[in-house]
Each structure stands twice: as C-alpha cells, then as structure tokens.
Structure 1
Amino acid sequence: MKIEVCNKADIKTIVDGLNTYNLDKVAALSNIWTPLEYSLKNEDDAVVGGVLAGLNYWNGLEIKILWIEEDYRNQGLGRKLLNHLENEATRRGASIAMVDTFDFQAEGFYIKNNYDVIGEIKNFPKGHRRIYFTKILESKRPKPFTV
C-alpha cells in the first residue's frame, strides 16, 4: 500500500465510492449535487457579492460561501441574497439549510436570519471560533387541500 497525492481520476473514484455507499444506505431525493450559485451586481454590472451553494442528494441546502463586498454591507443585500437562495432551494424541495462560518465573519448575520447554532470548534483559528448553523426551511410547495 502507498499514499499519493490525488489526481482527478482518483478524486472521482473516491467521491463515487462515498456516493455509492451513502446511496446504498439512504435513497437520493434529487441529483447528487444541484448548484445554486448567484452573483449580486451593481449598476455598473460589477460583482459586489454572491453565494455559492447547492442542494445535496437528500435535498439539504449547503451554503459554501456567501460574500458581500465591504462597501455594500449593512444595506440588507446579504439578507436579500440569502432569502433568494432559500426560496429557490425550498422551491426545489429543500427542507433544511446548513452553513458554517467564523466568529469574525458572519455569526451575527446567520443568527439574525434565524439560523440555529448546532456546534462550534473553539480556538480555531487561534483566539476565534468556527460555528456551525442549521435552519429549517418552510416549504414553498403548494399544500394539499384538506376539508
């Protein structure tokens, strides 16, 4: 046996192996990964923010990056971008969102947007915390009519 740096084929084999294992245990509800990636542009068509996220195969919304350029912060743009993302995710069947951030990044932002802290790593990086959040998303699908 030997350990080597991965090439693209190795990475595909590893990801496919984990996906096969996972899907043998719990059936997929959607494609393996559905990207939900949006940019926020100003009047000059320059990117001043954006979000990189996606739906996993169990319809969980995973937020990888949400960023707003400093000059555009505290104007409600992050909230609007997050709401757009959550609405699109729920329209596609998501019922939960998950994200992590650091205490010096967006901890207060996610708390203000009704995300719940589910864990943290203290003193990482040194003197700070990495915080993990989740939020139950309200379904945007039509509700069945009942009498």
Structure 2
Amino acid sequence: MTDKITIVPCGRESISKIVDGINQYNLDRVPALSDIWTPLEYIAKNENGEEIGGVLAGIGYWNGLEINIIWVKDEYRKKGIGSHILKYVEDIAKAKGATVAMLDTFDFQAEEFYLRNGYISIGEIQNFPKGHKRIYFSKRLDL
C-alpha cells in the first residue's frame, strides 16, 4: 500500500486538514472541556514602555496551560520578572479553568527557574542538543 503514497510539502489548506483531522480524532475519544485553543500571550514593559519580557502560551481543549515561550531581556533577568510573568499567566489560566501547566526547556535555559517556581521534571532527552538535555516540566494548577 505505501508504494502508491506520495508525500509532498504542505500548503495552508493541507495544514488545516491535518490540524482538523487530529482535533476530530482526539475529540471523538475525549470530549473538550474548553475552546480548542485560548491564546494567553502577553508582553511585559518597563516604566519607559520598553518591552523587556513576555510569554506565549495558551489553554488547550482539556484545560491544560501550554507554555511555549517565556522570555526576559538579558539585563532584566534574575530580578523576579520571569517569575512575575509566569505567575501572571498561571493565574489567568487558573481563572479560565486550567488545571495543569506544561512546558519544555533546555538545561542551559531555565531548568532551575522552573524548579524554583514549583514545576516538576516529568522527563528529559539526554544529549539534545549535544552535551545538553531537553527537559519537560509540569505543574498542577488546581491544588
């Protein structure tokens, strides 16, 4: 059967078909608890209006907060701004019904930061990138 299959790059319409297909498959098995995706995307500004940090996250249809990126400008790191941004998005997610937060990071990025903020390591990929590790974290928001 695989002899007659071709694989080609996706266009916008094909991407939608893939996303819609997996969403339908998933929702046929486990009903959604919330909208398919509720974006939680915020920028932090200093007193001069300069953008110094931010978060790109969202709540999926089973009420999980998925944190994709948290960033703080170099000169503002280690001053509690990242923790403030993280708590801000967690609080909004909890108010919207999120029960768990999840994310991944690398050992050279923010491993200790997430541990200090109550996250637990739930898995890792060793030697990716070479000489480092990718770490997956989770935190219960409903406790």
Identify the TM-score tier after normalising by the shorter chain: over 0.9
1:64 maps to a residue whose letter is N
**SS across alignment from 2:108:** coil
Q: 2:120 aligns with which of 116, 122, 125?
A: 116
In the alignment, structure 1 residue 74 sits paired with structure 2 residue 78: yes
Counterpart-to-counterpart distance in 1, 2:104 and 2:111: 9
**SS across alignment from 2:33:** coil
Residue in structure 1 matched with residue 136 of structure 2 by the alignment: 132
Q: How does 1:1-147 map to 2 (within 5 A)?
A: 1-138=5-142
Deviations 1:50-90 (A, max 9, x none): 00000000010000000000000011000011000000000
| TM-score computed with the length of structure 2 as normaliser | 0.95
Give unmatched runs, 5+ long, in structure 2.
Answer: none
**SS across alignment from 2:98:** coil
Counterpart-to-counterpart distance in 1, 2:14 and 2:50: 37
1:135 maps to a residue whose letter is K
Counterpart-to-counterpart distance in 2, 1:103 and 1:8: 34
Moved over 2 A (4+): none
Aligned residues: 139
Quote the sequence identity (%). 58
1:44 maps to a residue whose letter is N
Counterpart-to-counterpart distance in 2, 1:98 and 1:31: 18
| TM-score computed with the length of structure 1 as normaliser | 0.93
